[in-house]
Amino acid sequence: MSDLRWWLQLARPYRGAFALGIVLGIITVASNMALLAVSGWFIASMAAAGLAAADMNYFTPAAAIRGLAIARTGGRYLERLVTHDATFKLLTGLRVWFYRQVEPLSAHQLSGLRSGDLLARVRADIDTLSAVYLQLILPVTVGVVCVAGAVAVWAWYSVAVALTNLALLMMAGGLLPWWVARAGRAPGAQSVAIAARLKAQLVDMVEGLGELVVFDAFAAREREVAALTEAHLDSQARLSRLTGLGQAGMLVLINAAVLASIGLIVPAIRSGAAAPIDFAPVVLLVLASVEAVTQMPAAWQALGQLQAATRRLRAFEALRPAIVEPETPRPAPVDHRLVFEHVFVRHTPDTPWALADASLSIAPGERVAIVGASGAGKSSLVHLLTRMTVPERGQVTWGGAPVTAYRSADLRAAIALVPQRIYLFHATVTDNIAVGDPDADENAIIAAAKAAAIHDEIMALPEGYATLVGEEGLRLSGGQIRRIGIARALLRDAPVVIMDEPGEGLDGATAARLWSAAAARLSGRTLIVVSHQPEWVARCERVIVLDRGHVVGDGTPAELTDSCAEYRRLTRPGGCLDSDQRPAPGASLTLP
């Protein structure tokens, strides 16, 4: 399917408004062209009547001129109103379409896409597609119809004038725009690509500003952004030069049409084939036709940007969701026994296994810690339970049935997740905790905050629970953000609680208070803790050890110390479970 047909298919729900906008555009431009031609004819006729001392009915042409002026002004207003309203509705539809393409995709399918690039596609690329109608379809259609009407009028006066102007206007509205479009395709596509990369770099730089400063990498990233900015400005300058050349060529061709019309109509007037008063409407109609073709060079030049933006968006059509919902799902599970049976998972077909022949079982109400070095497969286990990915071989069962037999929404409703990266919205503390259960009342939210050992610190904020936390929790510390995420999870009445690095940003004393406060909330629930911190692992009666995707240990900490070499390696000095690697409570990092 061509890019234009794809766009027209998405625009189908709004075709009535788009068609009305084209009709209004034709009325507006045709009224303007007729207004100038009729005004010229009227003035010339009045002058001729005055010289001949003859009577003339000026009421009818005066009324026509007023009517055309009103039609031009009203048509322009209505055309802008209708076309822009339809375009905004189309943009909404395009963003909904894009969300529906992205939402079913698994975490692994999106893992190679940076957040800034995704933002560029949903904002900049979709905004670029709004130009398909406003800068391409609308001006080209209006221009073709209005030029055809003008040629018919010229032919009524002189066939030679009509054919000459048709040739010159076709060059101005067809050949010249084709050349501009061909020359602008490469810089247009380059501009879209560079703009997307620039947005991605800027988003990454803002999100990782702290790390960039700490590791003295901000200057290098700043130079990368500056280089992309220069490249973007360069591509925009090339497009601007092409636009200028197109506009200059347009003026040359229009002036040539005016001179050609004069050169053809004057001899006709002298020979008596045309009346003297015909000079004004013929020549002025040529000048008025400028509006019909003046937008075409820019319209065709936009093709490069439109095609590049369309390709970036349509790339998601080729991705098929890895998570497929069952046609006849089982009822939501009541038994929450979790079993992994010889599970194999990898991110892409050419990468090593993230999990290889992993088998384990977690009984309802168990407290299990999952440990291992970075890349051992811990996050893959979490993704399998939350239905963010599927095993390539083997299966995961929940309550005795494969997880593929349930609706993903039913399984996720049974899970309270504390992800490794807590996202806070630019909203109040109450609103951010209520994400865990939007129907929870104020008392339940406060109780969850107390269970996460964050209530007192919330009350110390300027407006307590009504305090705005800032974008991504800008006004809070890392430990406070972590505990609000834990409060969000504890607010959910879910039988399975998964905590990925729950102690990140917390000192030992705060972690102890949190465990003590959350004990009642966690009682009777299955708790799965993914952590590198020994004090969190020690609070679980069972530990599962992963090494390069394999389950190499499963038992109590004491049993694993005797039987599992990988567990001993993790807990020895320098290992990721070595308590001496953690900063002392109250220690701080001093920035330069």
Residue 237 tokens read as: 């300058």
d(CA 122, CA 174): 32
Q: What is the pLDDT of residue 589?
A: 28
The answer to whether 537 and 543 are in contact (CB under 8 A) is yes
**Average pLDDT over every residue of 201-213:** 78
CB count within 10 Å of CB 442 equals 10
What tens digit of pLDDT does each residue of 51-108 get?
777 777 777 888 888 999 999 899 999 999 998 898 888 888 888 888 887 777 766 6
The answer to whether 520 and 451 are in contact (CB under 8 A) is yes
Which fold is adopted by the domain 3-318?
ABC transporter transmembrane region fold (1.20.1560)
The answer to whether 172 and 253 are in contact (CB under 8 A) is yes
**Average pLDDT over every residue of 373-398:** 86
**Average pLDDT over every residue of 566-573:** 82
Q: Which of 472, 483, 475 is nearest to 208 (CA)?
A: 472
The answer to whether 14 and 270 are in contact (CB under 8 A) is no
Q: What is the pLDDT of residue 45?
A: 83
The answer to whether 25 and 138 are in contact (CB under 8 A) is yes
Q: What is the pLDDT of residue 434?
A: 93
User: Cα separations (Å) of 536 from 145, 189, 368, 369?
Assistant: 74, 51, 10, 8
**Average pLDDT over every residue of 151-169:** 90
Asked if pLDDT for residue 582 goes beyond 50, the answer is no
Q: Which of 326, 360, 321, 325 is nearest to 342 (CA)?
A: 360
The answer to whether 169 and 147 are in contact (CB under 8 A) is yes
d(CA 558, CA 561): 5
Asked if pLDDT for residue 288 goes beyond 50, the answer is yes
Asked if pLDDT for residue 27 goes beyond 50, the answer is yes
SS3 159: helix
Q: Which residue has the higher pLDDT, 383 or 582?
A: 383
What tens digit of pLDDT does each residue of 463-482 get?
899 988 887 787 888 888 98
Residue 539 tokens read as: 């609070």
What tens digit of pLDDT does each residue of 418-431 get?
888 888 888 999 99
**Average pLDDT over every residue of 394-408:** 90
Q: What is the pLDDT of residue 498?
A: 92
d(CA 254, CA 48): 28
Please count the residues of the chain.
592
Asked if pLDDT for residue 211 goes beyond 80, the answer is no
- % of the chain beyond a pLDDT of 90: 17
C-alpha 531: how far from chain center: 33
SS3 573: coil
**The residue type at 479:** G
Asked if pLDDT for residue 579 goes beyond 60, the answer is no
Tokens 């590049």 belong to which residue?
308
d(CA 234, CA 362): 59
CB count within 10 Å of CB 25 equals 24
**Average pLDDT over every residue of 233-248:** 83
d(CA 31, CA 411): 63
With cut-offs at 50, 70 and 90, classify the pLDDT of residue 588. very low
Q: Which residue has the higher pLDDT, 179 or 439?
A: 439
d(CA 164, CA 157): 13
Q: Where are the domains of the chain?
A: 3-318
**Average pLDDT over every residue of 516-545:** 85
State the DSSP H helix or E strand holding residue 432, giving kind and residue range, or none if neither: helix 429-433
**Average pLDDT over every residue of 217-234:** 87
Asked if pLDDT for residue 445 goes beyond 90, the answer is yes
**The residue type at 62:** A
Q: What is the pLDDT of residue 504?
A: 79
Q: Which residue has the higher pLDDT, 540 or 174?
A: 540
- Residue 380 burial by CB count (10 A; 0-12/13-18/19+): exposed, middle or buried? buried
φ and ψ at 398, to 5 degrees?
A: -130, 115
d(CA 577, CA 581): 8
**Average pLDDT over every residue of 8-15:** 82
The listed range with the strongest mean pLDDT (47-61, 132-146, 429-443, 559-573) is 429-443
Q: What is the pLDDT of residue 116?
A: 58
Mean confidence (pLDDT) of the chain: 83
**The residue type at 234:** D
pLDDT-wise least confident of 10-14, 62-66, 333-337: 10-14
Asked if pLDDT for residue 303 goes beyond 70, the answer is no
pLDDT-wise least confident of 202-211, 227-236, 580-589: 580-589
Q: Which of 147, 136, 141 is nearest to 177 (CA)?
A: 136
Q: What is the pLDDT of residue 420?
A: 83
C-alpha 473: how far from chain center: 22
With cut-offs at 50, 70 and 90, classify the pLDDT of residue 587. very low
Q: What is the pLDDT of residue 31?
A: 92
Asked if pLDDT for residue 114 goes beyond 60, the answer is no
State the DSSP H helix or E strand holding residue 130, giving kind and residue range, or none if neither: none
Q: Which residue has the higher pLDDT, 322 or 244?
A: 244
Q: Which of 173, 96, 107, 109 is nearest to 136 (CA)?
A: 173
Q: What is the pLDDT of residue 113?
A: 60
Asked if pLDDT for residue 280 goes beyond 60, the answer is yes
Percent of the chain that is helix, strand, coil (3-state, to 5): 65, 10, 25
Asked if pLDDT for residue 1 goes beyond 80, the answer is no
